[in-house]
Amino acid sequence: MSDGIDRDALYIDGDWRKPSTARTFTAVSAATEQPIGVFPEADRTDVDTAVAAARRALGGHHGWGSAKERAAAMERLALALEARTDALGTLIAQEVGTPLARAIEANVSAATGLLRFYAPLADVMYAEDLRPALVGHSLVRREPVGVAAMIVPWNYPLSTLFFKLAPALAMGCTAVIKPSPATGLDSFLVADAVHEAGFPPGVINFLPAEREVGEYLVTHPGVDKVAFTGSTSAGRRIGALCGELLRPVTLELGGKSAAILLEDAPLPLFLDHLLNLSFNNNGQTCTNNTRLLVPRSRYEEIVDAVTATVASWPVGDPLDPSTVIGPVAGAAARDRIEGYLRKGRQEGARVTTGGGRPSGRDCGFYVEPTVFADVDPAMTIAREEIFGPVVTISAHDGSVEDAVTMAEDSAYGLAGSVWTADETLGRQVARAVDTGTISVNHANFDIGAPLSGRRESGLGSELGREGIEAYLQYKTIFVSEPPADSDAPAT
């Protein structure tokens, strides 16, 4: 296309710069399979330039700008993103296949919300705490961790970026960001907003690139911290590289979360939440509850109700307001999902709805929303992350103990939910399940509370006040008397 979406420069050191190679990526519409824009591919030379710019902007260990300056710049960025709401939402809907309203809510609104959540923390966090010690005093400083390399996925390109960028900016860190090539085009609109917001040169840099360049960024000697969201396999590789370097890393990885329905589960309420709980973003959400664990006494009732609900959802163009399920993000994603559909049938699971490509959708990367019943927990489709609009239904014996055991029978531990008429029991069950986040009788996500993964779902936490910890480091200065030049409160 030549309608202004094409880009030919990289945003590095506060300006648009010619890339070091002539290689480009082409963004493709998930609904039409047609090109929607071309943008440059970054190389190692661009990484060197961006990291050097980020180090200059850091200003030693004090971080860029004062707390007030950082908070003000973050608010300006929120306003600049809001001014681009329609353009960003439309582009992400085209790139990922996310229905438009959801693309806006889960990306643009989330990004601005995160900036406004963390901006006040830049102003209220004390740089130093003065603590009485056995001898004299301890002056405990909070300092920015430094230059952060941020590698973000394609499924929620803005929100997963600002999970990292918002707390990092508030704490005075600088950032070198590698967007996914699959959705790299939208990062140029974000860079436009960054430029408009007037951040100092080098504070935020964008480098869309392939995995090899991403690894170079992760291991670059000028990088102090790595934050990654993506697949568990890629997370293992990044974790290994950071382990070799003793470099701090946050990993938000895959999931295979379970929705536990107890004997008294309120089925109408569960069905009302099923889309957001298990099929969010056409199934392309790591926290989706894709294993439905239901009591054997109500098995057929629940299977029939889930099947009817899922079968009723319109599948179509993500820009059409009536669409509930859009296409997935690319041919490779569709092929992978279809491989799991074949595997499920081969293993003996029963398809109650979906299971293929929707009729009349010859163009676009569409997969029907699919329900597998009669799923043994040992089946591949019950153990591996499919990352598409597919859920499995398995029976438990009706007891809390059996349901919790089944829920925890997974390599992952990211999310989950409990459904029961007894809220007190629901909270007890939620506390018993070893997972990072879990809800009772609704689907929820809260930027004010930490998101943490257990086992193969990741390391560290993002979101909440706790999210700033990944971008801080501590220094203790032992002093004999309280320093006159410190405004630190005594604790």
**Residues 32-67: tens digit of each pLDDT:** 999 999 999 999 999 999 999 999 999 877 789 999
Return the domain boundaries, the chain.
10-253+457-477, 257-440
Question: How far apart (Å, rounded) are the C-alpha atoms in residues 283 and 294?
Answer: 20
Average pLDDT over residues 406-423: 96
> If you search the block for the tokens 């009772």, which residue do you land on?
440
pLDDT greater than 90 at residue 192: yes
- CB-based burial label for 473 (10 Å; 0-12, 13-18, 19+): middle
Q: What does the block give as tokens for 235? A: 């997370």
- Place 307 in a pLDDT band, splitting at 50, 70 and 90: very high
pLDDT greater than 70 at residue 368: yes
311-358 pLDDT, tens per residue?
Answer: 999 999 999 999 999 999 999 999 999 999 999 999 999 999 999 999
Question: How far apart (Å, rounded) are the C-alpha atoms in residues 429 and 259?
Answer: 12
Average pLDDT over residues 206-210: 97
Lowest mean per-residue pLDDT among 115-124, 361-370, 393-402: 115-124
- Place 124 in a pLDDT band, splitting at 50, 70 and 90: low
pLDDT of residue 63: 87
Return the amino acid letter for 110: A
Where in the sequence numbering do the catalytic residues fall?
Answer: 252
> If you search the block for the tokens 């919790």, which residue do you land on?
404
Can you give the pTM of this predicted structure? 0.93
pLDDT greater than 90 at residue 487: no
Question: How far apart (Å, rounded) are the C-alpha atoms in residues 192 and 187?
Answer: 9
Lowest mean per-residue pLDDT among 9-18, 20-29, 38-47, 123-132: 123-132
Question: How far apart (Å, rounded) are the C-alpha atoms in residues 98 and 276?
Answer: 12
- Place 1 in a pLDDT band, splitting at 50, 70 and 90: very low
Q: CA 431, 435, 441, 445: dihedral to nearest 10 degrees? A: 120
Pick the CATH number of 257-440 from 3.90.480.20, 3.40.1350.10, 2.160.10.10, 3.40.309.10: 3.40.309.10
Question: Nearest-CA neighbor of 236 among 57, 458, 483, 488?
Answer: 458
pLDDT greater than 80 at residue 483: no
Average confidence score pLDDT of the chain: 94
pLDDT of residue 4: 46
Contact 462, 470 (CB under 8 A): yes
Q: What does the block give as tokens for 208? A: 């869309």
CATH architecture under which domain 10-253+457-477 falls:
3-Layer(aba) Sandwich (3.40)
Identify the helix (H) or strand (E) that includes residue 151.
strand 147-151
